[in-house]
A and B are shown apart, each in its own frame.
Chain A
Amino acid sequence: MATRIPLPVLTPGASTVPHAPFVRLASLWIQITGTLCNLECIHCINASGPTDPWLKPLSRGAVLRAIDEAADLGVKEIYFTGGEPFLHPELLSLLSASLAAAPTTVLTNGTVMTDRIADALRALAEAARYSLEIRVSLDDPDPALNDKIRGRGAWRRAVRALRLLNERGLLPIVTATEILEGERPSGEGMYQRFRQFLLGLGIEKPRVKIIPVFPVGRLTDPAGPVLDDAAIEGFDLGLLQCAETRAVADGGVYACPILAGLPGARLSDGGLAESFRPVPLYHAGCVTCHRTGMTCKNY
């Protein structure tokens, strides 16, 4: 069990921080389990864990309201995240409701996947007109390296989930952070390493999404740099994902899934339409998005 680290709550600094415009609602993120998770990964963006989540799970009613409002507003995609979404007792029925409105993705650590859940996901996917995507987090093809980040046994169970999903034609997307890149010899790239690993598992259509490590959650650096006018000069802030993304989590609607739950990123008390306003780029995590062009979307 990892040592629990108190989560610093950052608040916006001076009112002069740059703001990203609101352009459109392309993706809605639903932080369905808050920060409740069976793992305690050392790089978790919201310091999720198994006990006393600082961000509470959402109720069924809150999730359904968000889906309905987003559909009316022309949302293109809906994502379920947490914490670990499969710890929510009503996830499967809420996925069904979401798939009736829009293509839907679940981000999971894969460790609580079972044959029964995988069967249910296949049934949902086959019944839906829109695509259901399952993203499984894995930080390295090597079990020891992966588990150093994600906890003992995480690799074995996540790989089992990949197999269960793949056997059912669900084509999981492996999501990997770059946290272990410093420990790899130069040469073979991260993408190629994961691709070969998945092919070796018998996954014939390997899908890999690589994301940077963010200075948020357990890796928050309160003294980290933030964006200022000089940093963003000449940059189209409408290209940042917070220009077309909103996250619904306990407490309201937030600018993006990376900062969901943080008071400085909260844009409304609950209504999506009310959150369609410029986003203060106050957090050190905003620097990462600006630098990398990161999107939390599937592609």
Chain B
Amino acid sequence: MQELLREYRRIAVFGGVYNNSEALRETLADARGRAVEAVFCLGDLGGFGPHPDRVYPLLRAAGVHVMQGNYDLSLATGREDCGCGYTDPRDNHFARISYEYTFRHTSAPNKAWLGTLPAGFRLRLGAHRLVMAHGSPRLVNEFLWETTTPDGLLAQCLDQTAADVLLCTHTGIKWLRALPDGRHAVNVGVIGRPENDGSTNVWYTVLTAERDDLAVEFVPVHYDHEALAREIERVGLPAEFAETIRTGWWTTCLENLPAKERARGKY
């Protein structure tokens, strides 16, 4: 966990780039237009998309603070899979294609760089003590879905990290929770694929310290998703990946979706 000493007032945070350099470029441009002081990426640079190595120069040029997600950890250490922990053979089939493709098309220097990334960030946003993690502060690949993350668990995570606000990603669907004691948890969403609602845009989060309050804004990002879908098809990745980009409905990695989130999707 990396401690950042500077105190911020306004930051942008996103997760799950999933090799989607088109959405990353638009996200960074949008964040610049919102006068944020810093941009944070909560990990998982790889997956699904066609050109893994196009992501890295964009992140570095923009000075994004990047942490290590489970995908990044797997790529850096040469693991056999992405570390999402699927047991469903269908999900594993597609996860394996995605991971092996990303592994083959990520350069050795970029893999090595992933190995240097911190597991999380701690920083101040005005009066608020923020802790950022990929899955959760205790497990890099823990899924914190909106409907399967109890208040008691969030309070425990915040207690154990001495924080007022928890930021996470990993699931692919954003949410915001205000705890009864005034603390907050935010899943910042991902910019690599749409969030299974039939819309093709992706999402990132802008947080602003306003006196004692915290303003959380989920920002939609539109990009040339059709061009990405065509490129996914051109390089020979599964049609299911292109379908998700083109329609906004998840076609794979469905096993871990809780009932409520699964019910909202098409598949």
Contact = CB atoms under 8 A, between A and B. Distances in A.
Contact of B89 (A74, A133, A189): A189
A74 B147 contact: no
A191 B90 contact: yes
Nearest to B86: A299
B213 interface: no
Contacts of A210: 87
Interface stretch (A123-131, A268-276, A279-287): A123-131
A168 to B, nearest CB: 10
Given A72-B152, A76-B149, A299-B255, A192 B89 contact: yes
Interface in A97-138: 101-103, 125, 129-133
A299 B87 contact: yes
Contacts of A207: 255, 262
A208 interface: yes
Contacts, number: 74
A108 to B, nearest CB: 15
A174 to B, nearest CB: 12
B244 to A, nearest CB: 16
B57 interface: no
A71 interface: yes
B155 A131 contact: no
B170 to A, nearest CB: 14
A75 B152 contact: yes
B256 A205 contact: no
Interface in B132-174: 138, 145, 147-150, 152-153, 155-157
B7 interface: no
B90 A195 contact: yes
A49 B255 CA distance: 32
Given A171-B263, A205-B267, A77 B148 contact: yes
Contacts of A76: 148-150, 153
A204 B266 CA distance: 9
Interface in A142-185: 169-171
Top 4 closest pairs, chain A to chain B, by CB: A74-B156, A131-B258, A131-B147, A103-B148
28 contacts: A72-B152, A74-B152, A74-B153, A74-B155, A75-B152, A75-B153, A76-B148, A76-B149, A76-B153, A77-B148, A101-B152, A102-B152, A129-B147, A130-B150, A131-B147, A131-B259, A133-B259, A169-B263, A171-B262, A171-B263, A191-B88, A191-B90, A192-B89, A192-B90, A204-B267, A205-B254, A209-B87, A299-B87
Given A73-B156, A191-B90, A299-B87, 16 more contacts: A24-B138, A72-B152, A76-B150, A102-B153, A125-B259, A130-B147, A131-B261, A133-B258, A171-B262, A171-B263, A192-B89, A205-B254, A205-B263, A210-B87, A299-B85, A299-B255
